[in-house]
């Protein structure tokens, strides 16, 4: 059988364009973008492997048998994983990936786990596909299970979409529905017309629609400094609230930026601020920099080691003069960073801790380097509760 691979090649082109645009942009390191990035990779692999598999199946004597096995085995792995990725993506959009829903989500992934076991055993059992003695390709007796699990995850995705639709924007809602409809139509066409390969093209077309509904990276950035803005910070903190909380972070506060503005003028002060934040991003390459307020920046890290590396670089490289046009200025800033603190799970509590630590630092003077430990946090919270009681 000769397969029509033109649609899958178009799918490769579409997915590649989306992938290049997505991965080259500076984006928030959150679950939604991580899942979407994996989604792009799997759809691209599915399209490429579908094309490669069509060629190797059509000309089985032109390639070694093990190549045919590897190509098709990997293709089926993509096929059984894509519906699960869509399901998890929608759960995250619906704000359901929380510790409270952990057991239900794990139970819902049991069919996928069983399908993976069958897939792993397929080279020995041939339950999904196999090659006869003449090297011809045949579908296995349990291939129907792949479609059953596909429909199950599409059903669970649809339930999450409709039950928690208030958590999604309308365009996201319709895009995910379109994704499932395109995929189902492609699967049915391929079922009755096996030589026409459409599943990868349908997925790539839906991928383009989904990408267009994601937030533009520019919308997540501060207009002046080009670091992530306060809205982006709120979104990340909310996501971390239901995961591990916020634990490893640093706060950098400019000591007298108003004085610099008066000295240099507004335009040159803005140039200096942009140069300074670019340098801050360089030394915080393992973290995400957010503009917390006008002259205060928050840097989030994934671990304590990355945070301590930033602190070391900061203390070595941030205290030197900057040339702004024909003038020279030294930026004075204070640094506050966490050390062995319990996870903070509420944005308002995080804001309270940051504001109080900066206030204490300003009482000491300029260029303060101060740690935020558990004792300091407990003292801040105690004072806050006393003030609230009064």
Confidence grade of residue 73 (pLDDT, cut at 50, 70, 90): very high
Please name which of 176, 174, 200 lies closest in space to residue 15, comparing C-alpha atoms: 200
Beta bridge partners of 196: 4
Q: Return d(Cα 220, Cα 233) in angstroms, integer.
A: 9
- Return the sign of the alpha-carbon dihedral for residues 331, 332, 336, 337: positive
DSSP three-state, residue 10: helix
Residues 188, 1: Cα–Cα separation, whole Å: 19
Give the tokens for residue 318: 């941030």
Q: Are the C-beta atoms of residues 341 and 247 closer than 8 Å to each other?
A: yes
Taking only the tens place, the pLDDT of each residue in 201-244 is 888 888 887 887 765 555 577 777 888 888 787 777 777 665 56
Q: Does 41 have pLDDT greater than 60?
A: yes
Mean pLDDT of all residues belonging to the chain: 82
Residue 18 has pLDDT above 80, yes or no: yes
| pLDDT at residue 47, rounded to an integer | 92
Which domains can be identified in the chain, with CATH numbers? Answer: 6-218 (1.20.1070.10), 221-389 (3.30.70.270)
Per this entry, what is the length of the chain?
390
pLDDT (0 to 100) of residue 181 = 83
What pLDDT, in 10s, does the model give residues 321-379? 666 666 666 677 888 888 877 777 777 888 888 888 888 887 787 778 888 888 888 88
Contact 361, 370 (CB under 8 A): yes
| pTM score, whole prediction | 0.74
């Amino acid at each position: 059988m000769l397969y029509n691979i033109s649609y899958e090649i178009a799918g490769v082109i579409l997915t590649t364009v989306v992938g290049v645009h997505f991965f080259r942009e500076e984006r928030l390191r959150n679950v939604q973008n991580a899942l979407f990035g994996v989604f792009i990779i799997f759809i691209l692999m599915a399209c490429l492997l579908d094309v490669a598999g069509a060629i190797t199946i059509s000309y089985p004597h032109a390639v070694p048998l093990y190549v045919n096995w590897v190509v098709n085995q990997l293709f089926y792995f993509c096929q059984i994983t894509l519906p699960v990725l869509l399901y998890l993506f929608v759960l995250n959009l619906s704000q359901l990936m929380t510790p409270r829903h952990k057991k239900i989500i794990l139970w819902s992934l049991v069919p996928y786990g069983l399908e993976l076991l069958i897939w792993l055993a397929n080279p020995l059992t041939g339950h999904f596909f196999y090659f006869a003695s003449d090297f011809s390709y045949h579908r296995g007796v349990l291939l129907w299970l792949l479609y059953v699990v596909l429909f199950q995850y599409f059903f669970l995705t649809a339930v999450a979409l409709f039950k928690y639709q208030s958590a999604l924007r309308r365009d996201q809602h319709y895009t995910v529905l379109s994704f499932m409809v395109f995929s189902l139509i492609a699967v049915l066409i391929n079922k009755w017309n096996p030589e026409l390969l459409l599943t990868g093209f349908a997925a790539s077309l839906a991928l383009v629609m989904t990408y267009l509904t994601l937030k533009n990276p520019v919308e997540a950035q501060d207009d002046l400094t080009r670091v992530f803005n306060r809205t982006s910070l709120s979104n990340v903190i909310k996501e971390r609230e239901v995961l591990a909380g916020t634990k490893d972070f640093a706060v950098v506060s400019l000591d007298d930026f108003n004085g610099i503005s008066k000295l240099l003028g507004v335009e040159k002060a803005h140039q200096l601020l942009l140069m300074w934040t670019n340098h801050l991003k360089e030394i915080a390459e393992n973290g995400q920099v957010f503009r917390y307020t006008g002259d205060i920046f928050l840097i989030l890290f994934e671990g304590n080691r990355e945070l301590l590396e930033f602190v070391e670089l900061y203390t070595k490289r941030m205290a030197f003069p900057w040339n702004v046009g024909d003038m020279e200025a030294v930026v004075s800033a204070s640094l506050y960073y966490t050390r062995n603190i319990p996870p903070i799970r509420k944005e308002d509590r995080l804001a309270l801790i940051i504001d109080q630590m900066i206030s204490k630092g300003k009482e000491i003077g300029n260029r303060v380097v101060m740690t935020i430990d558990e004792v300091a946090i407990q003292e801040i919270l105690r004072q806050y509760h006393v003030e609230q009681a009064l």
